[in-house]
Amino acid sequence: MSKPDYLLFDRSTTAIVFGMQTAAIQRMLDFDHLCRRQTPSVAAIVNPTGAPGFHRPFFGSREVMIPIYTTLAEAAAAHPEADVMVNFASFRSAFASTMEALALPSIRTVAVIAEGVPERQSRIMAAKARELGKVIIGPATVGGLAAGAFKIGNTGGPPDNIVEAKLHRPGSVGYVGKSGGLTNETFNIVARNADGVYEGIAIGGDAYPGSRLIDHLLRYEANPAIKMLVCLGELGGNEEYAIVDALKDGRITKPLVIWVTGTCAKVFPTGVQFGHAGAKAGGAAETADAKNAALRAAGAIVPDSFDTFGDKIHEVYEKLVAEGKITPIEAPTPPPMPMDYAAAVRQGLIRKPTNFISTISDDRGEELTYHKMPITEVIEREMGVGGVIGLLWFQRELPEYARRFIELALVITADHGPAVSAAHNAIVAARAGKDLISSLVSGLLTIGPRFGGAIDDAARTFKRAFDQGLTPAQFVDDMKARGVLIPGIGHRVKSVQNPDMRVTIVKEFAKRHFTATPLLDFALDVEKITTSKRNNLILNVDGCIGICLVDMLSSCEFTPAEINDVVQLGYFNGLFVLGRSIGVMGHYFDQVRLKQPLYRHPWDDILYQ
């Protein structure tokens, strides 16, 4: 059922919002909740620069799905019941989008929020709206509302102010003004001095708004639910003289309390503009004093100053109550306003078991922390990769030599040529056209007991033997009796006569910087026994790194229990994974750069004949 011409909004009104103004949309839906509307007042969103989809705001305590369109035509076609467009387009595109909305049969009212719309464009929009019998609110407006029914964007402020100003249910006052800020203030003044507004509109502060003060006052005059009128004008222009004429010729008969702001302008030099584009008197008739005098002479109730504006509203309201024209109503209690989860957490109002916990970092404060150390301190102190691993893995600040040893291990384990399984798999995946992540993962998934796992296994096995008090010979005999190869011992090409320089570097660093190297010494004694059997059964690089890491932790005063946890949880192999990732990604980039296709093995022709 269509609305009467004097009514812009009711409880069934829905709007199309032009622009992804999610905060304003949420405030519209919060207003709906306080008014106990059954359906959301936002039917659709138009986001010309985005993609189609859905926005999920809250309607009360439940989420709703509001469709997003890329064109206004699509949104209007899908939601013909939406007869309001709230236009958050910038001043550059407000004209085009508003003209498009006016041309759509289903759109009856357009609120143009943008400031700075050129005056010529504002005049064209206003003329087109009058020609089509439609209404423009704005430009440069906060919007407006029908109490207990519908509101535009941020009109009326947050939920607590909505309730304080009694906007969650209709009153008896029709209000119109120019300023958005003064409109919100007037809502509070009317609530304290009368029974609240029925409808309130801020037409905007531009010199040529899309609709005039008189337009809305005449609508209120025709609305039987509105019993008194309240208006705020301002210096500049001739808007208020149209109200004077309407009072004189009887088109406005309801009591009108009006004040034209800007009476202080007379103490300033001529030509001062007061905030709004239109708030500038171009002659004596455009001054606030002249307008207030003309309105008072025409029969309007004009206070002596803005300070007594509320007093005059109260006097008129009490008179209408005494005459039986207004029956005071019991204001309904609005439903409780659900609090957003994030806000409730900030205020400490709720507690909820976490889905998962983290003890290594925290980004809830002003600055990200790594184990309680602000990221700026991490950078300023040049903690490096080794220091960050200490904070995030071991949850403590490691001494400088330990940080350097971790970085040394990463450098040494970064690559071992293209033939090892991780590099080989990454190369094959890259040649098959796979992306970086897929190629990296295909290589890293091969890390295990036969490739890379020796770091953890060597640390675990040698530490167990050392803690049990076995001699190197007893350890070798025990492993032989069980038929298990000693992890960390043996190399395909390196030997006593052809030592691995990486092992030499690691051993020398540990001997030079650690307070003691008992496990390394034990491993070197084991090496003497194994190399006496075969000269390539040397302590290899993986084993040496794992064993030295145990000695490093002891030097850093980790407790035996803490060291056991680190070894059992696989920290050391994590260093191998991190280091080898560097090399694996290098092989990927190398193959992508060379642009080689997936190879064919020479025996493919034989296998697939």
Catalogue the active-site residues. 276
CA 522 and chain centroid, separation: 56
In the block, which residue shows the tokens 């439940």?
62
Distance separating alpha carbons of residues 24 and 66, to the nearest angstrom: 14
Query: Quick one: DSSP state of residue 357?
Result: -
For CA atoms 211, 217, 221, 224, the dihedral sign is positive
Distance separating alpha carbons of residues 257 and 232, to the nearest angstrom: 9
In the block, which residue shows the tokens 């990486």?
502
Strand partners, 146: 150, 199
Q: Is 483 exposed, middle or buried (0-12, 13-18, 19+ CB in 10 A)?
A: exposed
In this structure, the number of other CB atoms found within 10 A of the CB of residue 285 comes to 13
In this structure, the number of other CB atoms found within 10 A of the CB of residue 215 comes to 17
List all residues 6 or more positions away from 590 whose beta carbon is below 8 Å from its beta carbon: none
Q: Ramachandran region of residue 140, left (φ > 0), alpha (ψ -120 to 50) or beta?
A: left
Distance separating alpha carbons of residues 427 and 584, to the nearest angstrom: 8
Distance separating alpha carbons of residues 399 and 436, to the nearest angstrom: 35
What angle in degrees, to the nearest 10, is found between the helix axes of 541-555 and 454-467?
Answer: 60
Write down how long the chain is.
609
Cis preceding linkage at 139, omega within 30: yes
